[in-house]
Structure 1
Amino acid sequence: MAKPIGECGGPRHVAIIMDGNGRWAQGRGRPRLFGHQAGARRVREIVEACPDAGVKYLTIFAFSTENWKRTQSEVAGLMSLFRRYITKEARSLRAENVRVRFIGDRHKLDDKLRLLMDELEKMTAHCTGVNLTIALNYGGRDEVARATKRLAEDVAAGRLEPADIGEETLPRYLDTCLLPDPDLVIRTSGEARISNFLLWQSAYAEYEFVDTLWPDFCAEEFAQLTAGFGGRERRFGAVPA
C-alpha cells in the first residue's frame, strides 16, 4: 500500500543493479572476472549494512537473461563464481539470520548450481533478518512472460475467471510474489538505464544512478542513499495538499 504524501521514511526494500565490475578490473589491468570476484565480496558488506539502514529486503541483480551474450569464458567463470559464493557464504548467511531467495528462470542453469540454490533457500527459510533476493538468469520481460503463461494456464484450467483478472492478479504469478515492491532502486557505474530489472515491481520506485563502480560501492554510500530517500516526497500520482 502506498504511504500518504509526505510520509516517506527509509526504504524498506532496496534493489541494486550491480554494474561496473568489468570496467573496475580493466582499469587495474586485470581480467573482467577479477572484477566480478571483487563485486561478490562487496555484497556481504551491503547485506551487513541493511539493518542499520532500516532495510528489510535487498534484491541484487547478479546475472541477466541478456548476459548469456557475453564470451563463453566469462559466462563459465561467472557460473563457477556463483557456485563458489553459495558454498562459501551459506553458513555465514544463516548464522547472520539472512533469508535468501533466488528469482529468475533456473532451467538454463547447470544442475549443480540449481541444487546449491535450492539448498541455500531451504537452509535459510527460517531466518527472520534481512531478506536477500538474488536475481540469477533474470529478466523483467521474461518474468512477465512466464507469469502470464502461468496465469493463462489457470484460466484454461478453470481455476481463474478472465473477468476476475485485474492489476492485483499478475503480481501473484511473478517471481517476487512473496516480496514487497522495491522502494528504492540503485544502479552503480554511471549508467542511467534500468536494464530490464523488476519492470513491473518498480513502477513507483525511486531511482538513484551513481557513478561509483560496484566493487567500490561501500556501506557508507549505501547509508547516504537510503538516508536521502527519507527526504523525498512520494506522490503515487497524487498532488500535495
Structure 2
Amino acid sequence: MLIRGESAIVTGAASGLGAATAQRLAEQGAKVAVLDFDLTGAERVAGEIGGIAVQVDVSDADAVKSAVDAACEGLGQVPRIAVNCAGVGLAARIVGREGKLSFDVFEKTLKVNLFGTYHVMSHAAARMVELEPLETTERGVIVNTASVAYEDGQVGQAAYSASKGAIAAMCLPAAREFARHGIRVVAIAPGLFHTPMMEGLPEEVTTKITADIPFPARLGQPEEYALLAEQIITNPFLNGTTIRLDGAVRLPPR
C-alpha cells in the first residue's frame, strides 16, 4: 500500500515508538491521528506533523470507539492504516515478598496492552471493511506491537509477556479473518529500545542491558521501529506474522 495520500491512526503516539511512527508516516505523506492517554503529548506531536490529536484510554472499548470515530471525522476519511503502540511495562513477581500476589498488575497490564490492542484493531477494522479496495485489492493494514518478551520473558515479566504473547498469537487468526476484506495484520516484536521506559533507568543498568545485544550493540531507536512499520505497510505480501526487531538479542532470565 502506498502511504502518500492515505490516513492513519497511531496509538501511544505521544512518545516513543508511537511518536516516531506518526512522524514517519506523516513524512511519507499520510495524515495522522495521534491517539494517546496523554492529550498534551498527543497535541504536541500532532502539531509537529500536521496531524490531529485524540485522547483515549485504550483499555476502555467505548472510549476507543469514540476515539476512532473522532479520528475519522478529524481526518476526513476512514484510515486505511492503524498502528498500535500504546502499552505499559509494569513488572512484578507472581508471588512477591511475604507472599504478596500481583494479580492487580496482571489485570492492568492485560487491559492496556492486550485488550487495548484488540479494541483498536476491532474498531479500526470495522471501519476499514466499508472502504473501497485499492488497485492492489487492499483495504487496510493493521500493525500491532508485541515484544521479544513474548518468547524471552524475564523474571517479573509474567504479566507483560502474557500480554505481548497474546498479541503475537492473535496475529495469524486476525489476518486470516480479515483476508476476505483485503486487510492485513502484522505484529512487530521490538527488543530493547530507547523509549521513555528505558530513559528512566540508571546508566549502569542501561550499559548492562546493551551488553547483551549482539549487533548493533546498542538500544534500538524508535525510528527503526517506525521504518519497519512503514515497510510492513508498503509490502503487500507481509501478513499474519510477528517480526522480531531486536539486534539478535535473546533476553536472559534476569
TM-score by length of 2: 0.36
> Which has the bigger relative contact order, CA under 8 A and spacing at least 6?
1
TM-score by length of 1: 0.37
